[in-house]
Amino acid sequence: MRVGIIGGSGYVGGELLRLLLRHPKVEVTTITSRKYAGEFVFGVHSNLRGATSLKFVQQDLSSIVDNCDLVFTATPHGASVGLVPKLLEVGLKVIDMSADFRLKNPEGYVNWYEWEHSSPELLKEAVYGLPELHRQEIKKARLVACPGCMAVASILGLAPLVKNKLIEGDRIIVDAKIGSSGAGSKPSLASHHAERFGGVRPYKVVGHRHIAEIEQELNLLTDEPVTISFSPHAVNMVRGILSTIHVFLKKSLTIPEVWRTYRTYYREEPFIRFVRYPKGLYQFPDPKVVVGTNFCDIGFELDPHINRLVVLSAIDNIMRGAAGQGIQCLNIVLGVNETIGLESVGFHPV
Amino acid sequence: MRVGIIGGSGYVGGELLRLLLRHPKVEVTTITSRKYAGEFVFGVHSNLRGATSLKFVQQDLSSIVDNCDLVFTATPHGASVGLVPKLLEVGLKVIDMSADFRLKNPEGYVNWYEWEHSSPELLKEAVYGLPELHRQEIKKARLVACPGCMAVASILGLAPLVKNKLIEGDRIIVDAKIGSSGAGSKPSLASHHAERFGGVRPYKVVGHRHIAEIEQELNLLTDEPVTISFSPHAVNMVRGILSTIHVFLKKSLTIPEVWRTYRTYYREEPFIRFVRYPKGLYQFPDPKVVVGTNFCDIGFELDPHINRLVVLSAIDNIMRGAAGQGIQCLNIVLGVNETIGLESVGFHPV
Amino acid sequence: MRVGIIGGSGYVGGELLRLLLRHPKVEVTTITSRKYAGEFVFGVHSNLRGATSLKFVQQDLSSIVDNCDLVFTATPHGASVGLVPKLLEVGLKVIDMSADFRLKNPEGYVNWYEWEHSSPELLKEAVYGLPELHRQEIKKARLVACPGCMAVASILGLAPLVKNKLIEGDRIIVDAKIGSSGAGSKPSLASHHAERFGGVRPYKVVGHRHIAEIEQELNLLTDEPVTISFSPHAVNMVRGILSTIHVFLKKSLTIPEVWRTYRTYYREEPFIRFVRYPKGLYQFPDPKVVVGTNFCDIGFELDPHINRLVVLSAIDNIMRGAAGQGIQCLNIVLGVNETIGLESVGFHPV
Amino acid sequence: MRVGIIGGSGYVGGELLRLLLRHPKVEVTTITSRKYAGEFVFGVHSNLRGATSLKFVQQDLSSIVDNCDLVFTATPHGASVGLVPKLLEVGLKVIDMSADFRLKNPEGYVNWYEWEHSSPELLKEAVYGLPELHRQEIKKARLVACPGCMAVASILGLAPLVKNKLIEGDRIIVDAKIGSSGAGSKPSLASHHAERFGGVRPYKVVGHRHIAEIEQELNLLTDEPVTISFSPHAVNMVRGILSTIHVFLKKSLTIPEVWRTYRTYYREEPFIRFVRYPKGLYQFPDPKVVVGTNFCDIGFELDPHINRLVVLSAIDNIMRGAAGQGIQCLNIVLGVNETIGLESVGFHPV
């Protein structure tokens, strides 16, 4: 299959390219960048030096039509909404990495993003690209809307609990820690090394946009309303998210019961690993362990002191939180083994 | 006043020495270390090269009696309990940095520390060394038990809310992030650079011992029972704690009302700073900003989405979480200005 | 003395303010910033919250004339050259933190900075603000040109050797490692956290501008020509410079002979510390140990394998490499103790 | 081929296992660890959770004989020397990751390692496992001695210059920067996070053992004696080495001439990349870019100021500096494509 990447100079675009270059079922024909058009891709993504002689090109619809069957749109939030309809119109499949097609309800864009959605009809059609929840729909999708990175870690940690109605729906606290790559490749004071190094900076302490998609997806699983209390923190690492999820059990559960709930829900999922191990250093998920992989590591602990369950969910925000997940969706669309191109198991230490 | 430091080779002992060397009302006569007795202090605490020619000595009670009026015990948890009674017996004042005299109820040591306390009568006498809560008692204390580092950040963030009965007492989530110095100076796999760098490691996800003192202190402020859901995380920094405190309001509050609650409670406290500022990068507390200082920076945000209040409380764990606070208590005992020796305002950037 | 800071929103300006606020002989009357005029200083330099209610003002010569006796110009390179003459004209003393008055030879600006100097006569008058080499001239100076951060570490490490003609003048290799604050507070891709974290990036591998001042100052000490081979590297820290200086001895020296050379040259210097200690972890200088201080830590080792001497010189680039050194110069100008306001001994660990 | 790893709990052993598990020509039958025998490998190497159910076993020669055709010895320096002869005796091939068979001259072990070599005859037979220099000998080797990590970066950067007699042989300065994984997985104060984070620590400033093998290998390339001035520094990263090599040209060279020297020497080498690019951020090698790969990135710059050439050579110390290189040697021994199992191109950013 011939694949294009629109918006290829960012971290997600570069990671998509890295993965697609090694993907046996795919040929990357096009990678666009306004800023770097005409330049070698490896001038921006230095890791790809020697791996490809591709150059960035300007975004040109007719050339994309001719050279691609499927397009990844790794464009900024608010830019995909105008572009995707045109790509669909000419018969392309689209896997969109932005937030522009994640919400089902057009009002969500008004409330959370403060703009009016120009293609509300596509919101119905778009499939939320989280394979564990929407595998069957992704298979047939024309438009896949890849989830937000912090939403992935949060939804995957919570889904089995919500689905089984085990927790108080209005006392779900997700305290997230995220690496600097999550802010993208554009320099800013918030991501300036001297300012970000060695601290823990709370940001969007309330009102973070990923809340919208987390609540949307979790509420699809249950008829009991779910409300999320979400606060992210910028920490001193590059890749990775840890979502620490504090929930309160409606009735007491034993550890085996919680295990069973998770194992049953994620039976045979290739990218869910359970981490709850009494030996060694990494007894619970740590984003350090999943760097470079498509895994979502999930662990938990029961707090007998108060009827709390702490769930820990760790991903690589660029992989499982974006590009890796995009490739997993691509594999589902292609009908091939979901792990193709995503075999990396991570490094120890890194 | 002649002061001694017992257990001077650790991070807290070194920091106490640094502060005391510049303290105009104090002379450090003794600093002990089993491991380094006979060696220059600056061989361990390299920052003190040129600042002192003190050498570590073996711990010797008769020499301490002769040379000290007050002693800081920066001994490991479980070691102070045997030592402190002997020091008090010979008429010394003691500021203990360990956990051994923080809990009022001897059973707390059985439940949380798994050992029986050998001097339960001293638990009644010992004053919990948090000036904002116990200033009057510290003035007259013979034995001050300095709070645990994560307890400080948590209690100071919560006290005004608990005192005023504004929050649900059984849904208080404290999600803490702590730097590596909090684990002390003894090498271990958990603090091995290659393992700790670049990750976020949950540890003691439930059952952390600081819960005992947090609940003890908060329950003294109210007749409504308070239970803490506490989970700390090891992050990639050296100094600092951020406690992100998620609480739920019993009834809606406005931002000015929350402001007023905090301002009233901490009126004229020299080491409480409020950080809630609409400009610049550091709109909320960040431990990076308090490195090297005795401040506890407190900020908050209301979540209109659900009746949540997020409180952020940042300290330097070695300063406000240990040695700095010890000096503040010393100043209170001495009856001098509390800020003596604690004037550092921190660095930008560091 | 009434002091102003022109260009106060950068890291050097902020650090000057921090130091001056505590300086007993000085009152800061003015701090300027084009970008932040009208805003509280603590909105930019968050460490100063509670320490000052100063606001940034626009740069206005007549107001500066009225309110200041001495001005620190922490303006960008190339901006001071136009400003300083005006400040001198109205009778102010100036301590310039930029590179604009460091070189004696106007052609140096053409060769190394690629612009023509508009006040070459002032280059003769300006005193290079390195107290260890120019203390007597600084005392009487109207205009002090503070050295570049990497020049400080390099010159101080080399001066005793060059002065005593002990080393080959054309095989002096200075391999420098510098933290991200050295690049200033303006965001750029090079200082983007995700790009800078966890790497070692060589930059300006040849032709770095600090070579000009290093060679100027060293050649003043000897009649044997000195040429510097200098290459800096951006490393994953915020504050600090380590200059590793590899030189070759003209004839063999013993360790005591090298010691004597350094001790004689830097007799009673308050901010030179020698670090060559057979115990503990910090046997040689490490920038980590001087964070927040005005020290230049110097150590050395002889290489019997080849007649090499390795000199290690560590400073805090914002302190000893800029603001701290500026204050030291101010103290000399004022005729007070050089250490006033510069008493901090650093932290362990940080 | 059936492969065993002796000493599998360290970072090199774990990385070998990670690579071998995906190697299509190899089956890992045995991984030993004294400390962790009986435990799952993923308890130590958490990245391998889900990738293998192997357990560590005690080192048992008869079992190794039965189950392995080739053995990697990832044992500590000084432990391989006793073990390897026994493995060879029973007909196994050995790729040794330690320093015990790298030096040809037994006296090297007395001089640099301070012990007497017990199998000097094997030193003649052992092949230094640097494919670019010894590919033909590796093909036929019974015993491959994998180079030291800092030796790899240094030799590969220098070999073309030495071979072509372009540089002064007694003024070769190698200033190396290395990540914490280079110190191994055993906790120590030097690798304690609080001590190592955020600094640059010079260590083994003179007399580092890798000098012995660097000089051995370079002197094999030329009849002009080569002496190395080598000083390493511990920096704040986990994986990676940058060797900054300062050399002085015997006669002037142009940039194209240097290019040609390198390109000719390393023609078609699969794991040498040249990085000297006028655009983007990574214009020269940076260890950050090679994390997780087997590449040695080499770049250079001419210094017209003095006849200096600066060569920059970056590797991942665990990959190209150890396990990756071991796999490359294995591939050569097996007679298969050298890149099998080593396809990873690295990440941007990481």
| Nearest residue of chain A to residue C45 (CA atoms) | A195
Residue D194 has a pLDDT of 98
Q: Are residues B154 and B119 in the same domain?
A: no
Domain presence at residue A342:
no
On whether residue C225 sits in a domain, the answer given is: yes
Question: Are D233 and C240 in contact (CB < 8 Å)?
Answer: no
Instruction: Tell me the pLDDT tens digit for each residue of D38-67.
Output: 999 999 999 999 999 999 999 999 999 999
Nearest-by-Cβ selection for C211 from D177, D289, D305: D305
CA distance D122 to C289: 46
Instruction: Give residue D307's identity as a one-letter amino acid code.
Output: N
Report the alpha-carbon distance of residue D64 to residue D68 in Å, rounded.
6
Does D206 contact C302 at a Cβ distance shorter than 8 Å? Answer: yes
Residue C204, phi then psi, degrees to nearest 5? 45, 50
Q: How is residue B321 written in tokens?
A: 């979480």
- Mind telling me how many Å the CA of C307 is from chain D's nearest CA? 9
Mean pLDDT by 10 residues, chain A (350 residues): 98 98 97 97 96 97 96 95 97 98 98 97 98 98 98 98 98 98 97 98 97 98 98 98 98 97 98 95 97 98 96 98 98 98 96
CA angle B203, B206, B212 (to 5 degrees): 110
- Count up the domains in chain D and report the number: 2
Interface contact flag, B347 C18, Cβ < 8 Å: yes
Q: Do C118 and C219 belong to one domain?
A: no
Among B125, B159, B192, give the residue marking a domain's end: B125
How far is A150 from A313, CA to CA, in rounded Å?
A: 10
Of the partner residues C18, C43, C347, the one whose CB lies closest to the CB of residue B345: C18
Alpha carbon of C257: minimum distance to chain D alpha carbons (Å): 18
Q: Residue B25 belongs to what domain range?
A: 2-125
Question: How far is Cα D75 from Cα D83, in angstroms, rounded to an integer?
Answer: 9
Same domain, B107 and B230: no
With CB atoms and an 8 Å threshold, state whether D194 touches B188. no
Amino acid at C253: L
| CA-based radius of gyration for chain C | 20
Task: Quote the ipTM score.
Answer: 0.97
- A284 contacts B206? CB cut-off 8 A: no
pLDDT, residue A13, reads 98
Residues of C at the B interface, defined by Cβ within 8 angstroms = 11, 14-15, 18, 21-22, 39, 43-51, 181, 197-198, 238-239, 273, 275, 277, 279-282, 286, 289, 291-293, 295, 297, 343-350
CA distance D187 to chain C (A): 14
pLDDT at position A199: 97
Angstrom distances, CA of residue B280 to CA of A179, A189, B283, D229 = 20, 9, 6, 47
For residue C337, the model assigns a pLDDT of 98
Same domain, residue pair C161 and C306: yes
Three-state DSSP class for residue C119: coil
Per DSSP, the three-state class of D329 is helix
Does residue B27 lie in a domain region?
Answer: yes
Same domain membership, residue B285 and residue B168: yes
Catalytic residue of the set B146, B149, B296, B329: B149
Residues in contact with C331: Cβ distance below 8 Å, sequence separation at least 6, in sequence order:
C337, C338, C339, C340, C341, C342
Query: Active-site residue D149, yes or no?
Result: yes
Please tell me whether residues C301 and C171 are part of one structural domain: yes
B239 to chain C: which residues are within 8 Å by CB? 347, 349-350
Question: Each residue of A71-92: pLDDT tens digit?
Answer: 999 999 899 999 999 999 999 9
Question: Which pLDDT score, from 0 to 100, does residue A123 have?
Answer: 98
Segment D247-271 shows an average pLDDT of: 98
Across the A/C interface, how many CB contacts are shorter than 8 Å?
A: 58
Q: Are residues B43 and B184 in the same domain?
A: no
| A:B CB pairs within 8 Å | 165
Does residue C301 share a domain with residue C227? yes
CB contact (8 A) between residue D46 and residue A345: no
Q: Is residue D174 part of a domain?
A: yes
Average pLDDT for D264-269 = 97
D157 occurs within a structural domain? yes
In terms of domains, do D241 and D200 share one?
yes
Q: How far is C46 from chain A (nearest CA, A)?
A: 11
Q: Are residues A307 and A191 in the same domain?
A: yes
Q: What does the buried/exposed string (b/e) look like for A228-241 if buried means 16 or more CB atoms within 10 Å of the residue's CB?
A: bbbbbbbbbbbbbb
Q: Which of C233, C286, C310 sits opposite D231 (nearest CB)?
A: C310
- Specify if D279 maps to a domain: yes
Structure tokens at D1: 């081929």
Q: What is the pLDDT of residue A87?
A: 98
DSSP string computed for D2-32: EEEEES-SSHHHHHHHHHHHT-TT-EEEEEB
What subunits touch chain B, counting only 3 or more CB pairs under 8 A? A, C, D
The answer on A161 and A68 residing in a single domain is no
Q: Are residues A163 and A307 in the same domain?
A: yes
CA distance A79 to B90: 75
Judged by CB atoms closer than 8 Å, whether chains meet at D238 and B185 is answered as: no
Specify whether the CB–CB gap between A187 and A132 falls below 8 A. no
C-beta of residue B217 within 8 angstroms of C-beta of residue B151: yes
Q: For D168-208, write each residue's pLDDT tens digit.
A: 999 999 999 999 999 999 999 999 999 999 999 999 999 99
Structural domain includes residue A246:
yes
Q: Please check whether residue B347 lies inside any domain of the structure.
A: no
Q: Which residues of A touch D (CB under 8 A)?
A: 11, 14-15, 18, 21-22, 39, 43-51, 181, 197-198, 238-239, 273, 275, 277, 279-282, 286, 289, 291-293, 295, 297, 343-350
Q: Enter the pTM of the model.
A: 0.98
CB contact under 8 A, D350 and A350: yes
The predicted structure's pLDDT at residue C323: 98
Give the distance from residue B229's alpha carbon to the nearest chain A alpha carbon, in angstroms. Answer: 7
What CATH number is associated with residue A183?
Answer: 3.30.360.10
pLDDT tens, per residue, chain B with 350 residues: 999 999 999 999 999 999 999 999 999 999 999 999 999 999 999 999 999 999 999 999 999 999 999 999 999 989 999 999 999 999 999 999 999 999 999 999 999 999 999 999 999 999 999 999 999 999 999 999 999 999 999 999 999 999 999 999 999 999 999 999 999 999 999 999 999 999 999 999 999 999 999 999 999 999 999 999 999 999 999 999 999 999 999 999 999 999 999 999 999 999 999 999 999 999 999 999 999 999 999 999 999 999 999 999 999 999 999 999 999 999 999 999 999 999 999 999 99
- Chain B CB contacts of C45 under 8 Å are 348
What phi-psi label fits residue B341: left (phi over 0), alpha (psi between -120 and 50 degrees) or beta? Answer: left
CB atoms within 10 A of CB B154: 29
For chain C, list the contacting chains (3+ Cβ pairs, <8 Å).
A, B, D
Residues 6+ apart with CB under 8 A from D315: D149, D152, D153, D240, D241, D287, D290, D295, D296, D297, D321
pLDDT of residue B10: 98
CATH number for the domain harbouring residue B64: 3.40.50.720
> Partners for D (CB, 8 Å, 3+ pairs)?
A, B, C
